Structures are given as C-alpha cells and as structure tokens.
Amino acid sequence: MRLRQRAVAGLTTLLLPFAALVGLASPASAATSATATYAKTQDWGTGFEGKWTVKNTGTTTISSWTVEWDFPSGTSVTSAWDADVTSSGTHWTAKNKSWNGSIAPGASLSFGFNGAGSGSPTNCKLNGGSCDGGTVPGDNPPSAPGKPTASDITNTSVKLAWSAATDDKGVKNYDVLRDGAKVATVTGTSYSDTGLTAGTSYSYTVQARDTGDQTGPASGAVAVRTTGGTTDPPPTGDKIKLGYFTEWGVYGRNYHVKNLVTSGSASKITHINYAFGNVKNGQCVVDDTYAAYDKAYTADQSVSGTADTWDQSLRGNFNQLRQLKAKYPHIKVLYSFGGWTYSGGFTQAAANPTAFAKSCKAVVEDPRWADVFDGIDIDWEYPNACGLSCDSSGRTAFKNLSQALRTEFGSNYLVTAAITADGSNGGKIDAADYGGASAYLDWYNVMTYDYFGAFAAQGPTAPHSPLTSYSGIPQAGFNSADAIAKLKAQGVPSAKLLLGIGFYGRGWTGVTQSAPGGSATGAAPGTYEAGIEDYKILKNSCPVTGTIAGTAYAHCGSNWWSYDTPATIAGKMTWAKNQGLGGAFFWEFSGDTGNGELVGAINSGLN
C-alpha cells in the first residue's frame, strides 16, 4: 500500500500530555456512598490503557471526587483524559475536571489513562474513604458474561440470553448495552429488548455487577438485525468490490465514514479494509486510538445522524463503521495491519506466528467493537524482501503466518492479505510462498499499481499501473498481467486474486515529451506529497492526453501524470472478469470524486 500520509492534527483536550496535567481542586470530603472501580481496557505489552469508573451509590449528589491509588515501581501514567492526574512517587491522584465533578444518585462516570509498565493499582481511596473494594485485595470485579445469543427476532424486538458471569462475592445483576449504551439492568441471564426499528442493525453486549456494585468487563458483542424495513440494495453480482478506508484521512483529508454514504459508494462496495493497525513487538495493536475509537462526531457528521456523547463507550471511526454496517448490512469490514510504514514489525511477528495471531484476534474481538470487524487483512511489505524495511524470515514465513491466522480466527472470519505485484523474474512474488499461503486465505489484494513514479526522479515517464506490458516499459514484469500470471503459476486460484486500482496518479515535472518514456527533472507537485495526486484533482487539473497498456496518462505544461479513469477502469474490470479473478479493490476512498465515479466504474465493470 502507498506510504501513508498523516496530517498533523491538534488533539482534543480529552487527550493531554501527562506533563501538562495541572490545576487540582481542593480535597473533597469522604463519601462512603460511592464506589471506584478499575479496569485495564487494553494491554500492548509495554503499556496499557486503564479506566476508572466512579459511581454514586448514595441518595445525594456528589459535587466533586478524588481517586487515589498506588502503582508498583516501574508503572506510571503517561497521559490521561477526563481527569487531572498527578503523582508523588508511586502514589497517584486523579481529580475531576470543572465540568464532570457532579454525580447524581445512581449515576456514574469514567476517566481513563495510558500507562507504562505492567503493574496494577492498589490501596484505592475515593474522596478519602474506601473504594468499596474496587481494587482492594479480597474483592475482585466480576468476570465477563458469555457472549449473548439472539432469538425471537421481529421487526421491533429481540430476545437475548447469555451464560452467567462469576465473582468471588457474588453477581448482583447485569447491564444490557445496545450499541454501547445501557438499556436495562436485570437480575437474570436473559432480556427481551423492544421498541426497536424495523430493518435496523444493533449490537448488544452484557456486563455483570457484583454485590459491591463493581462492573466487570463486557461480554463479546452479538449483531442483530430486525426484520422488515428497507435499505439501499447491495451491489449486484458475485465479485468482491473492496475499498481501503484510511484511519488518518479524518484529519487533513477531512474524509469520514459518512462520505461513503454521501458519495453513493457504500451501496456499490462489498468490503472495506480499515487501514492501518500497527505491528509492534510482534503483536497487532491499534495505531491512532483517538481517530479509531475516541473522536466525537456531531449529528451532522455521523452516519446515523446522532451526535456522540462524552461518556459513550465507543466513538470515532469504529462507531461510524458500526453505524454504516447498520445502514448497509451487506458490507463486511476487515481490520488491516501493516502497510508500507508498519511492515517492519512483521519480522518479529513471523518468529512466533501463534502469539501474533492471538494478539490480532484480541484486537479484532475487543468487546467495545467486536461487532464491527468481520475479519483481518495483513499488508506485509514485503516478506523475505525489502520495502521501507527489509525482511529475511525466509520463503515460508508468510505461509506460516497465514496458517497461524487461519487457525486462530477459524472459518467464521475473513483472513486476507495485500501482497506485492512484482511479476519480474526473481522479484518479490518469487521471494515468498504465496501459493502455499493461499490455502489459508480468502483472497489476495494484489497491489497492481506504483510500478513506476517519481521515486525515479529523472524518469523515464511511465504509467504507474499498467495492465499489460508495452514496448519501452522500463522494467519487465512490472505490470498487472505478469503479476497475476506469476501468482497463478504458484498455484493461487484465480478466484482468490483481486486486481488493484489506485484512486490517484503519479507524476513528474520538467517533462517535454507527451508520450511515455520522456525524461524529467523531479516529482510533480502534489497536494499531500510530491509526485502523487488524487484522481478527483487530476481529472480537472491535468486531463487525460492518451492511454497506454490499459491505463491513462496526461501531459500538461511541464508535468506528466498517469492515472486510471472510469473508462480505463472499465477495461481493467473486463480483463479481470475474463481472467476469472475474484473481483477488485482500490486504494483508497478519499481519492475519488464526491459522487464516487471511480467506485461506480468498478461496480458497473464487475457486474
């Protein structure tokens, strides 16, 4: 995949550097009619994410709160949100913000932090008194209940049932959460939710409470769609039509999940790859947690038309994807890990494929968003070869990693991979056992673009996504047809190969020759990166001059660009169908026009 672009974004005040956490309120009086409970919501080995929940169990409003605890040496808070956090040695203190000190009877609020180390809090105090067992030895929070099952689904209701949680001092009741918001508290292990909307998708989880009113971790999520209702029809045909949605696009590009709806693209695709999760220390981890699950959307920005609230359990791109799937239930979403920037972590992952696969499944099945993802995509650039970094794990490493992922995820999840399209003799396809690995994967996204560009600053100019070879091509094997043929020769079934389309162009400047093969002086200027520009810009700023090898090029002034258009995409889709390929994918949504004309060309061409 292309080198990722991340714009510098000003983070919300909910995410503060620890060094900037200042300005504390005076100590509050002790209040025994409240609890403070702790949960570790994420753990990535060298660090973790923690959350405290303060609940008013009394009959009068709490006006302010202070939570104190001790961490063992080597464990610390590095950043926090929704509280002012300070430390004295290993003792930590969190005080409410000016806007969240008040807690009504029966209500609760949470604040969170990122931490370094591996220790757990001890000696908890709330407003100078006991935390009622929150983290005091002798009273542990309850376990997660079993993942709910759904039955008796109608236009407006569903019955849920789950296996009981366990607790050292007894489970008191269960909170039932619909799309992250609590809708009921019950004493048994079943609940019937009513008053729902016909033809609508919902996600349910359950949390247990113990006799001290501590809340345990959420269960796995079950997705439910009520009967009846209407929705936009899914794309026709049996071909895969997949697009990449970039996590960082919500910043400088100002491209959000709702744009898939307003452009009309959501009704024309079958799958989305969410890019990218990182690969650190041989494990899958969420990269930008703010964009992924914390960024708040207003009503007009969200897919559902409902504004996010400060205390809901899931926000950001993940919640918007959940809303998109509710509106377009035919869409499947995969979490893609790696990419050009993050592929260096795969070498360590390949040393212990089983541990890597377990870490990936833990991220995909996080209870906060388990219903969002239908599978995992691995974008390793490149096994046993060089990209931004080099790997020497051996030819079988990619096959071993693929096998471990399939074993861990099982048959109910999609497991796919984005792979090189280097069809040259002795090139990157020859470096790994893609044929053997294909037995464990649902399909390959073959990156049939970026063959040529201004990374060769003086040229010669050449289309970055040629479908076939042509006289004068700078490098033999650098075209889609040769790459697909080589993968088939390795034993990859045609139906497991998707043809890649770039929604952008690559260009040079200092070019005097209109036809391909001219010399240049460097990269043409681009909005986000020199030598690269979105199709939605190029179609007007530098219109097509001609076509070669199944793609287009344009010469305007001293600049020379190559890019795909609706017409060339139509030709490529015809070729893909004639080859028996499983479909097509593209990088990435934000390069398309506001009315999704390139997505439309892929959809029409594969029907």
Backbone angles phi, psi at 31, to 5 degrees: -140, 110
Q: pLDDT at position 141, please?
A: 82
Q: pLDDT at position 232, please?
A: 53
Catalytic residue among 68, 247, 381, 408: 381
Q: pLDDT at position 131, please?
A: 80
Backbone angles phi, psi at 307, to 5 degrees: -75, 145
pLDDT tens, position by position, 567-578: 999 999 999 999
Higher local confidence (pLDDT), 33 or 275:
275
Q: pLDDT at position 461, please?
A: 98
Question: Does the structure show a pLDDT above 60 at 405?
Answer: yes
Backbone angles phi, psi at 119, to 5 degrees: -75, 165
Closest CA to 575 of 502, 486, 498, 516: 498
State both tokens at 170. Answer: 């007894």
Higher local confidence (pLDDT), 28 or 529:
529
Calpha distance 573→549 (Å, rounded): 14
pLDDT tens, position by position, 413-466: 999 999 999 999 999 999 999 999 999 999 999 999 999 999 999 999 999 999
The residue to which tokens 């006799």 are assigned: 211
Calpha distance 143→154 (Å, rounded): 31
Q: pLDDT at position 230, please?
A: 52
Calpha distance 129→125 (Å, rounded): 5
Strand runs labelled E in 162-261: 171-178, 181-186, 190-193, 201-210, 222-225, 240-246
pLDDT tens, position by position, 148-169: 999 988 888 999 999 999 988 8
Q: pLDDT at position 21, please?
A: 30
Mean per-residue pLDDT, 492-507: 98
Q: pLDDT at position 182, please?
A: 87
Weakest-pLDDT range from 83-87, 128-132, 258-262, 284-288: 128-132
Q: pLDDT at position 35, please?
A: 87
CA 276: distance to chain centroid?
A: 6
Q: pLDDT at position 27, please?
A: 31
Q: pLDDT at position 224, please?
A: 86
How high does pLDDT run on average in the chain? Answer: 89
Higher local confidence (pLDDT), 48 or 583:
583
Q: pLDDT at position 24, please?
A: 28
The highest-level CATH class for domain 240-503+565-606 is alpha beta
Mean per-residue pLDDT, 248-272: 97
Calpha distance 112→15 (Å, rounded): 9
Mean per-residue pLDDT, 22-38: 51
pLDDT tens, position by position, 39-48: 888 887 778 8
Question: Does the structure show a pLDDT above 70 at 264?
Answer: yes
Question: Does the structure show a pLDDT above 50 at 84?
Answer: yes
Question: Does the structure show a pLDDT above 50 at 11?
Answer: no
Mean per-residue pLDDT, 540-556: 97
Closest CA to 16 of 116, 112, 126: 112
On the CB side of 517, CA atoms within 13 Å amount to: 6
240-503+565-606: same fold as 16-130? no
Calpha distance 64→400 (Å, rounded): 54
User: Which region, left, alpha or beta, applies to residue 549 given φ > 0 means left and ψ of -120 to 50 means alpha?
Assistant: left
The topology under which CATH files domain 16-130 is Immunoglobulin-like (2.60.40)
pLDDT tens, position by position, 174-199: 999 988 788 999 999 999 999 998 87
- Residue 176's CB: how many other CB atoms inside 10 A? 21
Q: pLDDT at position 201, please?
A: 79
pLDDT tens, position by position, 276-298: 999 999 999 999 999 999 999 99
Question: Does the structure show a pLDDT above 70 at 31?
Answer: no
Question: Does the structure show a pLDDT above 60 at 147?
Answer: yes
pLDDT tens, position by position, 323-348: 999 999 999 999 999 999 999 999 99
Higher local confidence (pLDDT), 557 or 119:
557
CATH (residue range 149-225): 2.60.40.10
3-state secondary structure of 318: helix
**What pTM did the predictor assign?**
0.70
Q: pLDDT at position 60, please?
A: 82
Cβ density class 419-451: b for 16+ within 10 Å, e for less: bbbbbbeebbbbbbbbbbbbebbbbbbbbbbbb
Higher local confidence (pLDDT), 584 or 139:
584
- The CA angle 68-312-139, to the nearest 5 degrees, is 40
Question: Is 381 designated active site?
Answer: yes
pLDDT category, 209, cuts 50, 70, 90? confident
Q: pLDDT at position 135, please?
A: 37
Calpha distance 478→466 (Å, rounded): 8
Q: pLDDT at position 3, please?
A: 39
State both tokens at 169. Answer: 């001092």
State both tokens at 267. Answer: 């009704």
Residue 216 contacts residue 142 (beta carbons within 8 Å): yes
Backbone angles phi, psi at 124, to 5 degrees: -70, 140
Backbone angles phi, psi at 577, to 5 degrees: -65, -40
pLDDT tens, position by position, 223-233: 888 887 655 55
- Pairing outcome for strands 375-379 and 332-338: parallel
**Domain spans in the chain, listed from the N-terminal domain onward:** 16-130, 149-225, 240-503+565-606
